[in-house]
C-alpha cells in the first residue's frame, strides 16, 4: 500500500517521496531533512494549541474595500440570474430543481437588500444601538429615511436563512434522485 504511505507524514515516508523526485536529490542528508520536518511540524502545531480570535465579520477599509464588496454583490447577482435562467430554460424536472430556483429567488432578493444596506450605511452617522439584545435594538434619533432603510436591511438573515434551507432541500432532493433505488423498494 505505497499510495497510503505518501499521505502519512513521517520522516521515512517523506524520504521515500523525496527520493522519487530527481530535482530534490541535492539535499545533503536525510537527518537534516528529518530535523527540518520535525521543526516545521512542531512550529505549525503551536498554531493549533494557541489560536487567535477568528472574527466572523470583517470591516472594510474605506473606500476600496466597500467597492470590491459591492462589485462582488453585483457578480453574485449576475451569477444567480444566470443560474435561475439556465435551470428555467433546461429540461430538468424534479422537486430539486424547483427548490434550487426558489433558492435563487431568495438569494437575489437578499443580494439586493444587502447591496442597498451597504450603500445606505455610507450616509448615516449613527448605528443601531442594541438595548438588551439584537431583537430589541433601536435607532438613535433623529430618525431619517436612511436610518430606517439601514435598520430594515440589517434583517437580511430573514431572506438568507430560508434561501439556504431551500438550497439544502434542493441538493438533498437532487442527490436522492440520482442514487439508484433498490428493486422492490417504494419511493417516499
* Whole-Å CA distances, 77 to 45, 133, 156: 40, 32, 15
Percent of the chain with pLDDT over 90: 31
Residue 17, pLDDT above cutoff 70:
no
Torsion-angle region of 36 (φ positive above 0: left; ψ -120 to 50: alpha; else: beta): alpha
pLDDT 10s digits, 71-85 = 999 999 999 999 999
Amino acid at each position: 500500500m505505497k499510495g497510503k504511505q505518501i499521505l502519512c507524514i513521517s520522516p521515512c515516508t517523506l524520504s521515500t517521496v523525496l527520493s522519487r523526485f530527481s530535482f530534490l536529490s541535492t539535499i545533503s542528508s536525510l537527518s537534516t531533512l528529518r530535523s527540518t520536518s520535525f521543526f516545521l511540524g512542531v512550529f505549525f502545531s503551536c498554531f493549533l494549541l494557541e489560536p487567535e480570535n477568528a472574527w466572523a465579520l470583517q470591516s472594510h477599509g474605506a473606500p476600496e474595500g466597500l467597492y470590491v464588496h459591492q462589485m462582488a454583490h453585483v457578480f453574485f447577482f449576475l451569477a444567480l440570474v444566470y443560474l435561475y435562467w439556465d435551470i428555467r430554460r433546461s429540461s430538468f424536472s424534479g422537486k430539486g430543481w424547483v427548490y434550487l430556483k426558489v433558492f435563487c429567488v431568495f438569494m437575489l432578493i437578499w443580494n439586493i437588500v444587502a447591496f442597498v444596506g451597504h450603500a445606505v450605511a455610507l450616509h448615516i452617522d449613527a448605528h443601531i444601538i442594541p438595548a438588551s439584545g439584537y431583537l430589541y435594538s433601536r435607532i438613535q434619533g433623529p430618525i431619517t429615511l436612511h436610518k430606517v432603510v439601514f435598520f430594515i436591511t440589517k434583517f437580511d438573515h430573514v431572506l438568507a436563512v430560508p434561501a439556504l434551507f431551500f438550497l439544502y432541500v434542493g441538493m438533498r432532493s437532487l442527490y436522492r434522485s440520482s442514487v439508484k433505488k433498490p428493486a422492490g423498494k417504494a419511493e417516499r
